[in-house]
Amino acid sequence: MLGLLLAALFILLNGFFVAAEFAFVKLHATQSILEARIKRKERSAIHAKMVLERLDSFLSVTQFGITLASLGLGWVGEPAVEAFIRSIIGTPATESKARHAIIAVVSFGILTLGHVLIGELVPKLVAIQRSEATALVSATPLRILHISFRPLLWVLETLGRVILKSLGLRSDVSEGALTEEEILGVLAASTQRTPKGKEKAELLARVVRFGQRTARHAMVPRVDVISLPVDTTPADALRVVQSQGYSRIPLTKKRALDEVVGYLYAKDLAGNGAAARGTSLEALRRDVLFVPETQGLLDVLRAMQTGQTHIAVVVDEYGGTSGILTLEDLLEEIVGEIRDESDEEQATVVKIDAGVFEIDPRATFDELGRLAGLTYESGEGAEPTGAAVLATLGRMPKVGDTVPVGQNGRATILTMNRRRVTRLKVEILPDEPA
């Protein structure tokens, strides 16, 4: 009976270490959920935080525990189960080899079943579904074991790092943070079961991508920027504001877009009768924020918040104006196109036939992937389709030029305004038979 109790104890110990390992590995990427408990000074949460901060070291504890429990189970388990079976069926004076073999196989099967179910599978599933609760329960025992076996664990960790280094692998678990692609994959797998889930997944994916994009990806390009010379009369400026429908317009010296000196807020012009009184635009000029093309959108957003402005001028490496970026442009990167009564009706991507789309060259591979089914290499999502077409052509474009885009698309130039491509046709090609 003592042998059976020891076998059961080793199985439970194995299950404890397996559950602890899976719980902390899963919790590692979302450990912020412990912060509320830590603020309440819950001891188990504080210990769990300590484990997460040195996760690779504490994983050595769980592996050490799993190994010892498995060895102990193999040492006492099978003889104990065999003895229990013999106590039930009896032991003859002379036992045949076949009978002995059958008892050994049955004992091994029972032990294996208990080990796999109670010592591995069930704890693993519980830890995955209840990672926070499992981590809180196991944190304190793990810390005690970590302190008790520290010298031995140091030797094991050192040897492990040497082996991993010789294989060209990282030894620090914390370096294995989820990549953007892995995060997007988790979002897609966890929220795509319902229409609302798909909408949530798309919104969350846009938030993730937002942090990877730069001002160049979201800006209104220079050729589309409407500006006013700062010496324009208020009456003329008011007519431009009313005809264009913009609330903020860059102000320049003469007509040089590379010399932006501020911006005009339409409310300042029309709201207090400035145009009627003849107030100069210089008096209404507001300071504008300048950002480089390569600045991340999150940094641009913070700069706008700090400067309390809704518009920024995007400049290239030579200091020239590449375009402008508004708060609405940043918001559209997350929630999609926002149209009001002053926007043109022409959509960025329009389906004209099965697998055939007419698009604005500024539409990105990411947009074509979502709306048209274009596939592309990782990291190309923010690439404007028009830029990809020009890069592939390697020369000045002309109407009718056709080039491949992405992995399954073909783009044809439909219209141009002088040297600028204004509309493209994109065909999504069917998969070739294997």
What is the DSSP code string of 363-382?
Answer: -BHHHHHHHT-----TT-TT
* 252-276 mean pLDDT: 79
Summarize pLDDT for 161-195 with one digit per residue, the tens.
888 888 877 655 555 555 556 566 666 665 555 55
For residues 411 and 386, is the Cβ–Cβ distance under 8 A?
A: no
Nearest 10 degrees: Cα torsion 30, 35, 38, 42: -60
Going 266 to 269 to 270 to 272, the CA torsion angle's sign is: positive
CB 381 within 8 A of CB 369: yes
Q: Are 376 and 393 in contact (CB under 8 A)?
A: no
Q: Please write the tens of the pLDDT for every residue from 191-244.
A: 555 556 666 766 777 777 787 788 988 888 888 899 999 988 888 888 888 888
Mean pLDDT of all residues belonging to the chain: 82
Band of residue 260 on the pLDDT scale cut at 50, 70, 90 = very high
Q: Which long-range contacts (CB under 8 A, 24 or more apart) does 48-55 make?
A: 48/24, 48/135, 48/136, 48/139, 50/139, 50/143, 51/24, 51/135, 51/139, 51/142, 51/143, 52/24, 52/27, 52/28, 55/24, 55/25, 55/28, 55/173, 55/174
Q: What's the pLDDT at 186?
A: 60
CA distances from 145 to 17, 72, 199 (A): 11, 17, 46
Can you state the angle between helices 2-28 and 122-129, rounded to 10 degrees?
30
Q: CB of 170 within 8 A of CB of 176?
A: yes
Q: Residue 185: its pLDDT value, please?
A: 63
> What is the side-by-side strand order in the sheet with 228-229?
228-229, 248-253, 256-265
Confidence band (pLDDT; 50, 70, 90) for 42?
A: confident
Q: What is the mean pLDDT of residues 5-11?
A: 89
434 has a pLDDT exceeding 50: no
The structure tokens 């052509």 sit at 393
pLDDT value of residue 191: 56
**Percentage of the chain with pLDDT > 70?**
85
Q: Is-above-0.85 flag for pTM?
A: no
State the burial class of residue 142 (Cβ atoms within 10 Å of its Cβ: 0-12, 13-18, 19+): buried
Question: For residue 141, what is the enclosing H or E element?
Answer: helix 131-148
CA distances from 281 to 224, 241, 325 (A): 22, 13, 21
Residues 6+ apart with CB under 8 A from 52: 24, 27, 28, 31, 34
- The stretch 404-416 carries a mean pLDDT of 92
C-alpha distances (whole Å) from 232 to each of 65, 256, 265 are 79, 13, 14
pLDDT in tens, 283-302: 889 999 999 999 999 999 99
Sheet-wide strand order for 311-315: 220-221, 321-326, 311-315, 289-292
Does pLDDT of 378 surpass 70?
Answer: no
Task: DSSP letter for 431, please.
Answer: P
- Look at 118 and 418; give whichever has higher pLDDT: 118
Q: In the block, which residue shows the tokens 């993730």?
A: 208
Tens digit of each residue's pLDDT (9 = 90 or more) over 95-138: 677 877 888 888 888 888 888 999 899 999 998 888 888 989 99
